[in-house]
Amino acid sequence: MSRRPTILDVAARAGVSKSTVSLVLQNSAQVKAETREAVRAAMAEIGYVYNRAAAQMRSQTAGLVGLVINDLRNPFFTEFATVLQMTLAAKGYATVIANSDEDPDLQAKLIGSMIEHGVSALVVSPAYDDAGDAFDQIARAGIPAMQVLRKTDPRTGLFPFASFDYAAGSALATRHLLDQGAKRIAFVGGMEGRAITEERKSGYLAELKRAGIAPFTHHGRSSRAFGVEAVNNLPDDVDAAVCFNDLVALGMLSGFARAGVELGRDFRLVGFDDIEDCAQVWPLVSSIGCDIESFAQDVADGLLAWMQTGETPPPEHRAPVELIARTSSTGTID
Amino acid sequence: MSRRPTILDVAARAGVSKSTVSLVLQNSAQVKAETREAVRAAMAEIGYVYNRAAAQMRSQTAGLVGLVINDLRNPFFTEFATVLQMTLAAKGYATVIANSDEDPDLQAKLIGSMIEHGVSALVVSPAYDDAGDAFDQIARAGIPAMQVLRKTDPRTGLFPFASFDYAAGSALATRHLLDQGAKRIAFVGGMEGRAITEERKSGYLAELKRAGIAPFTHHGRSSRAFGVEAVNNLPDDVDAAVCFNDLVALGMLSGFARAGVELGRDFRLVGFDDIEDCAQVWPLVSSIGCDIESFAQDVADGLLAWMQTGETPPPEHRAPVELIARTSSTGTID
DNA sequence: CTGAAAGCGCTTACAG
DNA sequence: CTGAAAGCGCTTACAG
């Protein structure tokens, strides 16, 4: 039990040269099947473990992908991270995951650390208010990197942006609420001025304009807590709401439950993202479904192609969304 | 813009030898402050990026920690993973995170990959039904590794186990429900026979025995969906429940809301884990608080000590838990 | 299809 | 406090 065995030990054991062992490790077709088997057997016998650091140093590629997320505790991002990690793992890439916790300085540090670790590519759902350091760093390192779900760097040629068609989503939600007979619809949640808030609001505003109804927006944090409080901060004539996201909608659901207001009858609600909870609370919460699983897979596939063939993903990709109408907006039970 | 600069380029620029540059990189005290500054300046000027693969190869340490989680989508584990990652990042370690999705084969592959990447330590919340491959692999590699929240390998000397004092938790919950006047208390959720289920059940069984009341257990998956259905599968005289976890409790909450049963009055409920949602749904859900944030920090600290000083954590650590009584069991509003 | 040689970018004793 | 030299374990042309 001295040191870990190396390819030299494997070579000695199998009676071949170390180059041959290296070729076997890379599944090269130029090694005879028989030789390959002998080498594999030798590896198993002596308990050889591939040393990626050495390989990485020589070949300049680590089989490592970095993922930096602004809020990893948000189930929407967790699901994204999980599917991305699993898809990449299936292709032989390990994923270094980090939560920037909406902190641009931490984000810059994390990205720097990942670059040092030699990640082959990065996926970033960026914190807002970044001074540009994060992506400048990546640009200097010349690593393929994508912006997902949030865009903070305008260089989408360099850092392609992938997200959902949020404007279409809120338009769908608004039209649906009007169809259900809503007279005055509020838009609740989301920090004013942020790109994602404005996108999600734009479809709502467009539909209301078309219907000749005045909008009412109540902005704020995208949390359950904000949703709970929002219930008490709406004008009396508001009888429906499009929420910035499901967390806000779920918070409003709790607030209304507490206040004895029956959702789907006294008030109509549509969330955004269709996280799992929407179908598991009562009343069931209508939402704009963003198929995060397919989205994460698409991102993974695009990234793999980029790393392997050099083919850059399109500068902007908008995944389709759909309305999932449930009790909170229809009042019907299923 | 040819290749990335190396310490040789930095040395040339700063007018020192490459050893000096290396020492500066390691914050060695033997370099004069003045020299250090000159070297740092040179690095910044030429855009030097530390190459960890090379360092790792020579020093045999990567500054990388592996985290393998059986279900990364579960908010309890997400929180754990997030805090662990952030604590390690603050100490200069990057974290490779992977979701084994309860699949022992995938788990073995992921651990193998992490070992190849040269992780300095591993933290595993293992999938059940592992044939032992996972930890055997780690044992062979001789890497510090901890089992957290679930124990599947009995070698706690080699793989220390850290978790919460679950038995005390369910005893607390049961006693509390009895104090509230519950006559017949069920234990709902958790797969029968699994260590964690049996632990969480043991305190419940002990308290009921003490009170001379017959237990009623309804086992099953630890999901909201199971909780929703469980509501319809309890004997009529059951008027309270200790749930295996909060997901089950939240599912039951939805089920009762749908059935028009008022929690805290018609039925009393205590969950387990005290995830964020408990305080944000309505009625508020009582739960056994497991301070996952402190726990994750303790695990991180223990692991850092182990890596740095070789001091092994205790074979078994049980973090204390507390009862958080809320509306679902007390019927009172705050 | 296989072998001998060079080199990836660092760290680590060792001399000075 | 600083410099010259060896070597970590692979991959990569290049010969054969």
Q: Is B89 on the interface with A (CB under 8 A)?
A: yes
| B195 CB contact with strand C at below 7 Å | no
CA atoms of B144 and B119, how far apart (whole Å): 10
Res A62 pLDDT > 90: no
Which chain C positions have some atom within 7 A of a protein CB?
A: 1-5, 7-13
Residue type, A299: V
The structure tokens listed for B271 are 């969950």
How many H helices and E strands in chain B? 13, 12
Within 8 A by CB and 6+ apart from A177, the residues are A185, A240, A242, A268, A270, A329
| Chain B touched by A168 (CB under 8 Å) | no
CA distance B321 to B309: 29
Predicted local distance difference test score (pLDDT) of residue A198: 96
Tell which A residues from 195 to 224 touch B, by Cβ distance under 8 Å.
224
Strand partners, A185: A240
State CA B197 to chain mean position distance: 17
One CATH from 1.10.1740.10, 3.40.50.2300, 3.65.10.10, 3.40.50.720 for A166-290+323-330: 3.40.50.2300
What's the confidence (pLDDT) of residue A1?
37
Share of chain A above pLDDT 70, in %: 99
Q: How far is the CA of B45 from the C1' of D1 (A)?
A: 24
**Which percentage of chain B shows pLDDT scores above 90?**
77
Question: What is the domain class of B61-159 according to CATH?
Answer: alpha beta
Q: According to the model, what pLDDT value does residue B3 have?
A: 66
- Mean pLDDT to the nearest integer, B314-333: 95
- Distance between CA A43 and CA A39 in Å, rounded? 6
* Higher pLDDT, residue A247 or B333: A247
Return the CATH number of the domain spanning residue range A60-159.
3.40.50.2300
Q: Establish if B251 touches chain A: CB-CB under 8 angstroms.
A: yes
Identify, with chain letter, the residue nearest to nucleotide C6 (CA–C1'). A58
**CATH entry, B7-50, from 3.90.1150.200, 1.10.260.40, 3.30.380.10, 3.90.1150.10:** 1.10.260.40
Residues 6+ away with beta carbon under 8 Å from B130: B104, B107, B108, B152
Annotated domain spans of chain B: 7-50, 61-159, 166-291+323-330
Pairing outcome for strands B322-324 and B286-289: antiparallel
- Is the CB of B123 inside 8 Å of chain A's CB atoms? no
Two domains, one topology: A7-50 and A60-159 = no
- Give the architecture (CATH level 2) of B166-291+323-330: 3-Layer(aba) Sandwich (3.40)
- The reply to whether residue A78 touches residue B79, judged by beta carbons under 8 angstroms, is no
pLDDT of residue A3: 66
What pLDDT score was predicted for residue B172? 98
Q: Read off the DSSP letter of residue B67.
A: E
Are B89 and A109 a contacting pair at CB < 8 A? yes
Q: Which nucleotides of D are covered by protein (CB under 7 A)?
A: 1-5, 7-14
From chain B, pick out residues whose CB is under 8 angstroms from the CB of A250: 280-281
Q: In terms of Cα–Cα distance, which of B278, B286, B282 is closest to A254? A: B282
Judged by average pLDDT, the poorest of A9-23, A240-254, B146-160 is A9-23
How much helix, strand and coil, in percent to the nearest 5, is found in chain B?
45, 15, 35
Q: Find the Å distance, CA of residue A32 to C1' of nucleotide C1.
A: 7
Q: What is the pLDDT of residues A223-234, one digit of tens each?
A: 999 999 999 999
Cβ atoms of B254 and B229 closer than 8 Å? no
